[in-house]
Amino acid sequence: SSGINAEWPLRPGNNISSTQYKKLDKTLKCYNLVQTIQGITRIARKGDNFSQTTIDVVFTNCYSDFIKSSVLKECIGDHQAIMCEINSKVPVAPKKKKVPTATLR
């Protein structure tokens, strides 16, 4: 738990009209990537003000392997932990072949 009281004054920190955001968005589209984290991942205090931002992200272009992502309640410093679940197909190892051995004399 973050220990931050939801009643404190919070202000959004994600500015989707900024030049930096637009450059990031253009780059992501260029590589066919999407950002999967949809929640607030950081709540920071500066004086009497609090800001909420999505600063911790997971990008993917493997839509068929992506199952879900979420922001967890656990915190690491002032960041919420994030989780991403993917469908990972690990190939089965081939059966071992018996190698003939010779006895040395």
Nearest to 49 by CA among 8, 92, 98, 5: 8
- Whole-prediction pTM value? 0.59
Nearest to 40 by CA among 90, 85, 75: 75
96: its two tokens: 């071992």
pLDDT in tens, the chain (105 residues): 333 333 334 444 556 677 888 888 899 999 999 888 888 899 888 889 888 888 888 899 988 888 999 999 888 888 999 999 988 887 888 888 887 777 777
**In contact, 39 and 70? CB cutoff 8 Å:** yes
Helix locations, the chain, DSSP H: 19-30
- Phi, psi at 98, each rounded to 5°: -75, 125
1: its two tokens: 């738990």
